[in-house]
Chains A and B, each alone.
Chain A
């Protein structure tokens, strides 16, 4: 294991590499107000981040990542376009994996720019790729926006699309909803009774959720019961999309095939295509770069477009050395009425040193 001093030296060198490419170095605080993170991630964040508190400020979290504070900083008073770099510790609770570190150093590079998102994607990927150039790593890319485009293009009710969209990052729940909307899950006796108006309740209503809210959901369920099932062909389309895992040109050809049947995804496919060209223009060997359509879905993240990771080729035990992606929606959530396209990535200098064999 590299020492802390070695890791910090590596982190400083990486940050200098990003500064040399025009990024402004920033130092977000270690303590983050818990409210923002809880609002974004919900209760799950408590299983991943350390929470502390004082009587005056209430709950605070030791930063579990840099992206949220960097976005907040930029949305508050950033110039446009902007490039940022930072280096420092993040803290993650590891209750299930005692062998994984609960504190490690990340170095990041983030781009906030309105013009030419494909070029920004390629810029971030290429810079991080160059920082790892001498290491036996394998890159993988994906695009969460593809799945979102397919869901948006489904021929079904808006409510069903919203329900699927809400669970894009929870693959099992997404699958269960899809099965249900495709009419493959039997309607439970309790639900059938409710739809037939045969459920009565003599207990008084307690709590904040009102009769009106209950009635509204029953109405929504009754309307939903009249919506025709999502066609088997459309379910297959989603399966075909998530099944794509191939070098980028092949993957793109399959995406083009899909878009013939589902014209709604044409713009999303065009974005993947433009990104491939931008990556090639940056000198990335796209012919061997993997594109996996389901990549990035299982992590509790905010990425809604391009996603990527770099893994050690022969060290499957190591976590990814670098990860990143596009998070336009996050800037909207944190922007208080404003938004800006943004993409970024982080490296883990400790893992880089470990892979380099520095002891």
Chain B
């Protein structure tokens, strides 16, 4: 068997990952047509490429079906409970920077901090009869963050895309999402709370703590990590 390396299957994250490995003498490539999710590895023996959605890589690492994987810190923290027990961080790759933040309408000039948000949420619930809604796909991270901050009277609503638009569409009052430049937030008339930074994320190479390794695989993994280090 081979050492399995999971890499995001499309977009800039895939290209940048290929470049990062290429700069270290290991060529990753998609084989066949653009639509086929198969990959090839050149420059090192006994390593195979597994192309996956970035969101599935944490789960595959934790289940031990891949030995190494590239994905964002945000996804590992959100999807893996007690993530330190199932994966180990090998290297931050220096791209794919994104911050998980909490944002509210810019016109809410009375809301600058999480404490303000809590007070506004209490008043909102009294006025509207339901809890202030926060749209996100990072349910666990947001819930833990808000519990730590002592924010009550909110409800999370699931949003898997175009999250910044939910406020104008009146399906949420605030959002928690990743942002890199803040451009989309500004375009949607939102602002980040002054203490609303939950997590700084970037593309990171992770090693599974659970994937089984025979002697040959162990040697290959060791060699791969040496070349990357």
Chain A residues in the interface with B (C-beta under 8 A):
38, 42-44, 46-47, 95-96, 98, 163, 166-167, 170, 172-173, 176, 188, 190-191, 194, 199-201, 203-209, 211, 213-214, 216-218, 221
Contacts and interface: CB of A to CB of B under 8 A. Distances in A.
A207 B173 contact: yes
Interface string B178-217: 0000000000111000100000000000000000000000
A190 B109 CA distance: 9
B227 interface: no
A281 to B, nearest CB: 39
B187 to A, nearest CB: 11
A221 B115 contact: no
Nearest to A44: B147
Given A43-B143, A217-B120, A218-B110, A170 B150 contact: yes
Nearest to B122: A166
B152 A166 contact: yes
Give the most central of A38, A42, A44: most B CB within 10 Å.
A42
A46 B170 contact: no
Given A96-B81, A209-B120, 11 more contacts: A95-B82, A98-B82, A170-B150, A172-B150, A200-B109, A204-B107, A206-B190, A207-B167, A209-B132, A209-B173, A217-B110
B143 A47 contact: yes
B87 to A, nearest CB: 16
B150 to A, nearest CB: 3
B154 A208 contact: no
Give the most central of A95, A166, A191, A208: most B CB within 10 Å.
A208
Interface stretch (B3-11, B94-102, B123-131, B218-226): B123-131
11 contacts: A43-B146, A43-B155, A47-B144, A166-B152, A170-B152, A200-B109, A201-B107, A204-B107, A208-B128, A214-B109, A218-B110
Give the most central of A191, A203, A221: most B CB within 10 Å.
A203
Interface of B: 81-82, 105-110, 112-113, 115, 118-120, 122-124, 127-128, 131-132, 139-140, 143-144, 146-147, 149-150, 152-156, 167-168, 170, 172-173, 188-190, 194
Contacts, number: 103
Contacts of A211: 107
Nearest to B147: A44
Contact of B123 (A191, A206, A216): A216
Contacts of B170: 207-208
A43 B156 contact: yes
Give the most central of A43, A172, A200, A216: most B CB within 10 Å.
A43
Contacts of A206: 105, 107, 167-168, 188-190
Contact of A173 (B105, B131, B150): B150
B150 A203 contact: no
Contacts of A203: 105-107, 189
Contacts of B131: 42-43
B82 A42 contact: no
A218 B146 contact: no
A190 B115 CA distance: 13
B110 A44 contact: no
B107 A42 contact: no
B151 to A, nearest CB: 8
A2 B102 CA distance: 46
Contact of A207 (B82, B105, B146, B152): B105
Give the most central of A98, A167, A203, A206: most B CB within 10 Å.
A206
Given A96-B82, A206-B188, A216-B123, A188 B112 contact: yes
B105 A209 contact: yes
A98 B82 CA distance: 9
Given A207-B170, A221-B110, A167 B124 contact: no
Nearest to B174: A207
B115 A176 contact: yes
A42 B153 contact: yes
B105 A44 contact: no
A200 to B, nearest CB: 8
A176 B149 CA distance: 10
Contacts of B190: 206
Nearest to B166: A207
Contacts of A96: 81-82
Contacts of B107: 201, 203-206, 211, 214
B150 A194 contact: no
A201 B109 contact: yes
Nearest to B194: A190
A3 to B, nearest CB: 28
Contacts of B139: 46
A180 B24 CA distance: 54
Contact of A214 (B108, B132, B149, B156): B108
B109 A46 contact: no
A173 B119 CA distance: 12
Contacts of A44: 143, 147
Nearest to B186: A203
Contacts of A199: 109
B106 A201 contact: yes
A214 B150 contact: no
